[in-house]
Amino acid sequence: MTSFTTPWTAEQVTHLNDYQQSGRIHPFTCGQRDQHPNNEGVLVATENGWHCPADGCDYTQDWAHAFMAASPPPPDPRDFMAKVRAENQRGHEALQQLLFATEFRIPCPEAADPDRSDSGPVLQPEPLIVQKVTANWADRFPDGWLILNPNLQPGDHVWTGDGWVYRGNLHIGVIYRWTRDEAIAEAQRLATEETRRYETWVAEQRAAARREQP
């Protein structure tokens, strides 16, 4: 195994000390450990070489393995596996939350508003709502989901596949016609259309306000 001697650069000293503490190799230890049994004498690197940290010990060493100074120690595979397990656990928890969720809010893109002043509020439609069938209908439509648009008055219009219709005028099977994945995908598409509709409405409101100005 290739070794090298002092003097060592500051970067090499950092790598050497990182290796000493990494647990990846057996560390260099003091050759006079029998003189301080209460201190293991794990050597500390400096630019002038290794020094024993034990009080009163004058042991030094002027060489080290070259690979220890070339780069930081590799990650401990145990740390990597712990990280993987933690990420898998978070992913599992997120999946469980997704599977048991009964409502998703699909944001609409920000509306273009060229007439907005610098200090004016940013106009953006309310998110579309994807909602699972309510408990009283779950026995007939266990996988049913609806797409609701809160931007349309009276705020209770659902998407039938052909248009937004007030829920009170629809059969329950039409309201909850979607699966969860279908509803989310369709709502994402509709969100862009809703922003366009909103932009048109804003432009009409601003034009009407200008006409009313003396």
- Model confidence pLDDT, tens digit, residues 14-64: 999 999 988 878 999 999 999 998 999 999 999 999 999 999 999 999 999
| Number of domains within the chain | 2
Q: What is the per-residue pLDDT for 44?
A: 96
Nearest Cα to Cα of residue 112 among 200, 13, 14: 200
149-175 confidence digits (pLDDT tens): 999 888 789 999 999 999 999 999 999
Shared domain check, 197 and 125: yes
Nearest Cα to Cα of residue 61 among 4, 11, 9: 4
- The residues near 182 (Cβ < 8 Å, ≥ 6 apart) are 145
Residue 95 covered by a domain: no
Shared domain check, 110 and 65: no
Shared domain check, 107 and 44: no
77-129 confidence digits (pLDDT tens): 667 667 778 888 887 777 777 677 889 999 998 877 766 666 667 678 899 99
Shared domain check, 104 and 66: no
Write down the pTM of the prediction: 0.53
Q: What is the per-residue pLDDT for 145?
A: 94
Shared domain check, 184 and 125: yes
Residue 108 covered by a domain: yes
- Choose the final residue of a domain: 48, 70, 92: 70
Range of the domain at 65: 3-70
Shared domain check, 114 and 65: no
Residue 90 covered by a domain: no
CA-to-CA distance for 214 and 206, rounded, in angstroms?
Answer: 15
Residue 155 covered by a domain: yes
Residue 78 covered by a domain: no
